[in-house]
Amino acid sequence: YHNRHWDGCILRAVQAIRKDHAVGEIVRIEAHMGGYGLPRDWWRTSKTISGGILYDWGVHLLEYSLQLIDSEITEVGGFAHKGFWAPKTAWKADTNEDEGRAIVRFRSGQYLELTISSIESHPKQGQLEITGTEGAYLFDGSTWELVRHDKDGNSISTRGKNPPSEGWRFYQNVADHLVKGEKLVITGEWSRRPIHILDLACRSAARNATLKAKYR
C-alpha cells in the first residue's frame, strides 16, 4: 500500500524535520505500535500468510522512517517472543510472534528501532518518535508534537493535527511515469528497503545474531 508514502503525518514530519530542521540532527527514531490482547483469527495472525507480526504495519512505519533518515542500512538485529497467544488462536503453531523488534544501524551512525507487540501492557504514545540534537518530534496518524528547548533549557511543547493524506499522488506519479516519462517516486529499489529490513529482522531473531544488510 505505497499510498502511505504520502500520509499526512509523514508529509508534515518530512517538512518539519528534513526541511525545517526542527529537531536538529536526527540521532534515532523509535517506531512502535501495539497493545495487549489476543490476536484475531484472521490472515494477519498467521505467520505463513502475513510474514510475521512486524510486517503488516511495520512496513509502513519503516517506510516513514526511511523518508527521514538519509543514510545506507548497514546491519539489522531482530528480536522476537512467541508462544504466549498461539495456543489460544485458530492458527496454533502458525501464529505470529507475540512481539517483534528490529534495530537498524545506518552508515551515518543513526539508528532505528521498530517494535510491534500484542503483549504491550503500557503502550507508548504515538507511532514514531524522532529524537534529534535539538528536540524531539512525535506523531501518529492524527496528531504531532514537537518538543524543543529555550535558552535556559526549559522544554517547550507544540502540538497540532496532521494534514490530510495525499495518497492520490501515488497513482498520479505512476500515470505520469507511463504517459510523460516522469521518474517513479516508489521504485522497486525503494520498496525493497523496508522489506529487506523485515526479512533480516526475522532471520536475525531466529539465529540470535545481527545480520549485515545486502541492499543498502
Read off the pLDDT of residues 25-68 as tens digits, 9 standing for 90 and up.
Answer: 999 999 999 999 999 999 999 999 999 999 999 999 999 999 99
Instruction: Give tens-digit pLDDT for 147-176.
Output: 999 999 999 999 999 999 999 999 999 999
Cα–Cα distance for residue pair 212/216, rounded to 1 Å: 10
pLDDT surpassing 90 at residue 126:
yes
Three-state DSSP class for residue 55: coil
Sequence-ordered list of residues with C-beta below 8 angstroms from that of 101, at least 6 positions apart, any chain: 78, 79, 80, 113, 114, 115, 116, 201
- The band of 1, judged by pLDDT with boundaries at 50, 70 and 90, is confident
Q: What would the mean pLDDT of 187-210 be, rounded to a whole number?
A: 98
Contact 112, 69 (CB under 8 A): yes
Express as a percent the part of the chain with pLDDT over 90.
100
Domains and CATH numbers, the chain: 11-162+188-205 (3.30.360.10)
- Partners of 131 in beta bridges: 28, 136
Contact 23, 137 (CB under 8 A): yes
Distance between alpha carbon 202 and the CA centroid of its chain, in Å?
A: 15
Cα–Cα distance for residue pair 113/31, rounded to 1 Å: 6
Q: What would the mean pLDDT of 100-117 be, rounded to a whole number?
A: 99
